[in-house]
Chains A and B, each alone.
Chain A
Amino acid sequence: MLALLGIAVIVVGFVLRFNPLLVVVVSALVTGLGAGLDLVAIIEAFGKAFNESRYISIVWLVLPVIGLLERHGLQARARQVIANLRGATVGRLLIGYLLMRQITSALGLTSVAGHAQTVRPLVAPMAEAAAEQQTGTLDPDTRETVKAYSAATDNVGLFFGEDIFIAIGSILLMKGVLEQYGILLEPLQLSVWAIPTAIAAFIIHGARLWWLDRKLAQLRGPSAAP
């Protein structure tokens, strides 16, 4: 049971809003000590895992390109395109993005889009421009909400699309785990069962985006209507 102390550290640390890096390291130390490992062994285990998972952080390579494009007006252009589009709303825009993200992920194209590649430079500014049109003036809280929904839509689209693709990591993991119990399945047998949830995710999140549009329309108020 001592091994679970590390989980308690995580929960308390995140709730009390300590620096998350600090919380993670303290949790690793507590977990390791609770399991009877000595300090050097814990540092070594953590260092080894950190070195082996460097691939997670290579996404930051795209920042010089995104930053340069921002400097030359990429976000501004994304805003202009939406501002010139009649009838563009946050809901319609993000529902379209959700569908596109689900379909491309289902085809295995998970790294075609993402928070650094598409959400910050394109989707979020477009959504903000649409919200400005819908509400007249966009107050800071609503702007925050619209940006958060842009990131959320990318996550929902990715998570509930990618498992339809047969060669994605989670499908291969399930196949491997089942094999340990002598159950042999083809990836396709697993991936078809991701389709009902993908449809449900589109309906639920799409309904919430539609609801967001209604809330934005109310913000405009009767007096500001054209």
Chain B
Amino acid sequence: MITLQFVYVVTGIVFAAFALLSARDRSNAKRFGNAAFWGLLAVSFLAGNQLGDFWNGILVLLLVAIAGLGALGRGKPRTTTTDERRAEADRHGNRLFWLALIIPATALIGTLLFKRLPAFFESRQVTLISLTMGVLLALAVAAAWLRPRPLVPLEEGRRLMDAVGWAAVLPQMLASLGAVFALAGVGDVIGEFARDVIPAGSLLGAVVAYGVGMALFTMIMGNAFAAFPVMAAAIGVPLLIQGYGGNPAVVCAIGMLAGFCGTLMTPMAANFNIVPAALLELRDRNGVIRAQILTALPLLAVNIALIYFLAW
């Protein structure tokens, strides 16, 4: 049976290849820093379950030390020039788009199909499994059609990986920080604080505190999933639903979306805001957030108004 473990092994092998190719890249003065960083990630993906909690923690500290000390450089594997790419684009035409669509198409078909084959695929993980299948299929088709030398796809992947750099693990790090926050009871303290600031007897005040609280706490935690149970327990359920008798579906569904407005405005939501800035090679790490703030703030106001008018 194909499980999530299969996905992790494939990912681990790719990171191991990035590490080895980094180590022999003399154009990068910090090549051993890169090799160590991607190598540690390879270890995490290939052997994370065997390491145990403590050694996984040490592995994280080593990753952070490499990034924090600035030991991560940027390899420059040889790729095609702008002119060569234009010539390639003329030669291959729109077929390039079809090749690019293999991954999402396989992810889609696989998600729908593999669910029906629980004997062969771990049914809770079909999307990740079919995404991996899509990558392998796209590589196979590309190899047959474009005939690159064997190491070329990995070198091209490493070129992009080094462009992303340490930001690549930031989303995973923030998710782990969320677990420590939960262990320390951060949510309960925030919830108490939120209850204290609401003016007594004001429905509008309670709705505003709930909506703004969802957005603010989402900005701190980096995702609305962590904020929702806390704000629901502090204001949403006891005050808005049970106290004032609001429609629970409206209070929850639109409250969650108020949280999503917070996601648009925080560097803590790294996979949506910081990673694309690295991937698009923006000079300003917060450039994507800057482009989103003026959408997020009016939309937050709309969400608060929608709760106020639709829930009663």
B-binding residues in A (CB < 8 A):
1, 3-4, 6-7, 10, 14, 17, 19-22, 24-25, 27-28, 31-32, 34-35, 37, 40, 42-51, 53-78, 80-81, 109, 111-113, 115-122, 124, 144-145, 147-152, 154-156, 159-160, 163, 169-171, 173-174, 177-178, 181, 183, 185, 189-194, 196-197, 200-201, 204-205, 208
Question: Known contacts A49-B175, A204-B299; can you find 16 more A-B pairs with CB under 8 A?
Answer: A24-B170, A43-B61, A45-B53, A54-B45, A58-B131, A63-B156, A67-B159, A70-B79, A70-B160, A71-B88, A115-B280, A118-B104, A152-B295, A174-B228, A185-B249, A197-B303
The listed residue (A57, A63, A204) touching B302 by CB distance below 8 A is: A204
Q: Kindly list chain A residues whose C-beta atoms are within 8 Å of the C-beta of B181.
A: 3, 6, 31
Residue numbers in B under 8 Å from A54 (CB-CB): 8, 11, 44-45, 48, 172
**Any A CB within 8 A of the CB of B28:** no
Indicate with 1 or 0, residue by residue over B149-173, a CB within 8 angstroms of chain A CB atoms: 0001111111111001011111111
Tally A-B pairs: CB < 8 A: 405
B contact residues vs A (CB 8 Å cutoff)? 4, 7-8, 10-11, 14-15, 41, 44-45, 48-49, 51-61, 63-64, 67-68, 70, 79-80, 82, 85-94, 96-97, 99-100, 103-104, 107-108, 125, 127-128, 131-132, 135, 138-139, 142, 146, 148, 152-161, 164, 166-181, 183-186, 189-190, 220, 224-225, 228-229, 232, 237, 241-242, 248-250, 252-254, 256-257, 260, 263-264, 267-268, 270-277, 279-280, 282-285, 287-288, 290-292, 294-295, 298-299, 302-303, 306, 310
Residue of A7, A78, A159, A190 with most chain B CB atoms under a 10 A cut-off: A159
B-side interface mostly: helix
How far is A205 from B94 in the complex, measured between Cα atoms in Å? Answer: 30
Chain B residues with CB under 8 A of A48 = 53, 56-57, 179
Asked if B295 and A205 make an inter-chain contact with CB atoms under 8 angstroms apart, the answer reads yes
- Across the interface, which residues of B come within 8 angstroms of A174, CB to CB? 228, 252-253, 256
Jot down 30 A-B pairs with beta carbons below 8 A, ordered by A.
A24-B176, A25-B61, A31-B177, A43-B54, A43-B58, A45-B183, A46-B180, A57-B168, A57-B171, A58-B132, A60-B168, A63-B160, A64-B14, A65-B100, A68-B139, A71-B148, A73-B80, A73-B88, A81-B94, A120-B276, A152-B292, A155-B273, A156-B292, A160-B299, A169-B225, A174-B252, A178-B232, A181-B237, A183-B237, A204-B295
- Cβ contact of A61, chosen from B11, B189, B288, cutoff 8 A: B11
Which chain A residue shows the least CB distance to B229? A177
Quick one: which of A66, A171, A193 has the most chain B CB within 10 A? A193
Q: Given that A46-B60, A72-B96, A111-B131 are known contacts, is A3 also in contact with B228, CB under 8 Å in the complex?
A: no
Nearest opposing residue in chain B for A145, CB measure: B291
> By the criterion CB–CB under 8 Å, are A65 and B142 in contact?
yes
Cα distance A191–B257 in the bound complex, in angstroms = 11
Q: Which A residues lie within 8 Å of B184 (CB)?
A: 3, 6, 31-32, 34-35, 37
Q: Are A50 and B254 in contact (CB under 8 A)?
A: no
Residue numbers in B under 8 Å from A20 (CB-CB): 166-167, 170, 173, 267, 270, 274
> Cα distance A207–B181 when bound, in Å?
38
Q: Which residue of A lies closest to B264 (CB)?
A: A155
Whether A173 lies near B56 (C-beta < 8 A) is no
Chain B CB within 10 A, most for which of A6, A22, A144, A174:
A174
